Amino acid sequence: MSLKFGTDGIRGPVESVVTPDACLRIGHATGLAMKELGWDTVVIGKDTRVSGYMLEAALQAGFIAAGVNVRLLGPIPTPGVAYLTKTLRNKFGVVISASHNDFLDNGIKIFNEDGEKISRDIEKRIEKHLAGDLSSVETSAIGKAYRFDESGPRYIEFCKSTVPSEISFSSLRIVLDCANGACYKVSPEVFEELGAEIIKIGTEPDGYNINQECGSTHPEIVSKAVIDHRADFGVSLDGDGDRVILVDEKGNILDGDDLLYILAFANPNRTGAWSGVVGTKMSNLGLEDGLKKLGYKFVRSDVGDKYVSEMLSKKGWMLGGETSGHIICRDLVSTGDGTIAALKVISSLLLLEKKPSEVLANFKKIPQVNTAIKVKNKDIVNDKDLQSLIKEIESDITVGRVLVRPSGTEPKIRIMIEAPEIKVAKKYAADIEKLIESKS
């Protein structure tokens, strides 16, 4: 098949890309790759999309046909699968989710034994098997499937364990938006068991409403609720729970750059593994400047939490993330975890006895415009006229940075422009959008 791994696994429409047949083959191909590496058991989790049960059945059939045993975790956040892959001593963990996309899409993400996204070498090994024929091992060697009913409780206890014992949330009122996704049950229990009063949003999934006008792509919903309920914080998670956007007591929306700065500011140890922070090409230039003033080194990876994680491993550092809200605290977790990132930011602020605005007053973002345009062919980013326009914009001394790139998860071209004046950034972003539209 022509299925290929992108920035965050394999993702696309259920009706045409991530079909039952595709998942059967992905399970089989991944199982064959596992067997070649001497591994024989995999855990599978999923979010709340209506297609989840259908694709789970196909995926597990493929693994079993390859002779691999399967542990079915049920609905659980993506970072929960990463955690259980590691703690259950499995070599592979698979998540059925399309993250922040709507219910029409679904996808496959794969973790290794350390709870990290698999390497490109293993992806290539799986893609090679995808090109082959589908068959089954002999009947005596086929795998078995088991339901693991303790996935939710285990993940809840792990999340709670990341909060220092001297910290209590009992004085806090928190608006929590779970995007009608994988966190709908576990995350409210985490915050409530830590003592917080919770106002819930997006905790009634029906298979179709995941990320629908809620969650981290719509933080304005929580912002309004924080004001209406006079809450201390707002927490917006995405459909699979691996990223988060926070809201302060005044309704101000805090993106991943803000959260990284708060965590870095609160950290008293800025040497060794804590001497640097990893961002991405999308990270605001103001974040880079602010972190350097705090005494940190700062490097940018390609966009995608997988690449942030790889850069953290390369540098031996503990903290990194994306503007979109993927925050990786490697002292606690191996991948982006929205719930744990929120817990750590809130705990850090409680220890500092400061409001978010007091900490964030120490750094200033450069005005940044982020937009995306749907396209039929993402190769348009290589168009000569578009490249010429980008160079022309970059030559303007009033412009800081320009980034035009294909989305790794959707049929879109993403545009980011930074400039000292927001009107300049908006003008040039509109020019790029107009050119792309004329070429589509």
Six-digit token string for 208: 């179709």
Contact 102, 211 (CB under 8 A): yes
Six-digit token string for 40: 């024989």
Amino acid at 34: M
Active site residue ranges: 99
d(CA 289, CA 296): 10
Look-up: residue for tokens 């035009």? 404
**Residue 277 main-chain phi, psi, to 5 deg:** -130, 140
The sign of the dihedral angle between the CA atoms of 406, 407, 410, 414 is negative
d(CA 437, CA 170): 52
Q: CA–CA distance from 211 to each of 126, 189, 343 (Å)? A: 30, 20, 21
State how beta strands 412-418 and 401-406 pair: antiparallel
Is residue 242 annotated as involved in ligand binding?
A: yes
d(CA 404, CA 347): 36
d(CA 277, CA 331): 13
Contact 170, 146 (CB under 8 A): no
Is residue 238 annotated as involved in ligand binding?
A: yes
Is residue 99 annotated as involved in ligand binding?
A: yes
Is residue 258 annotated as involved in ligand binding?
A: no
d(CA 365, CA 419): 10
Binding-site residues: 99, 238, 240, 242
Binding-site residues for Mg(2+): 99, 238, 240, 242
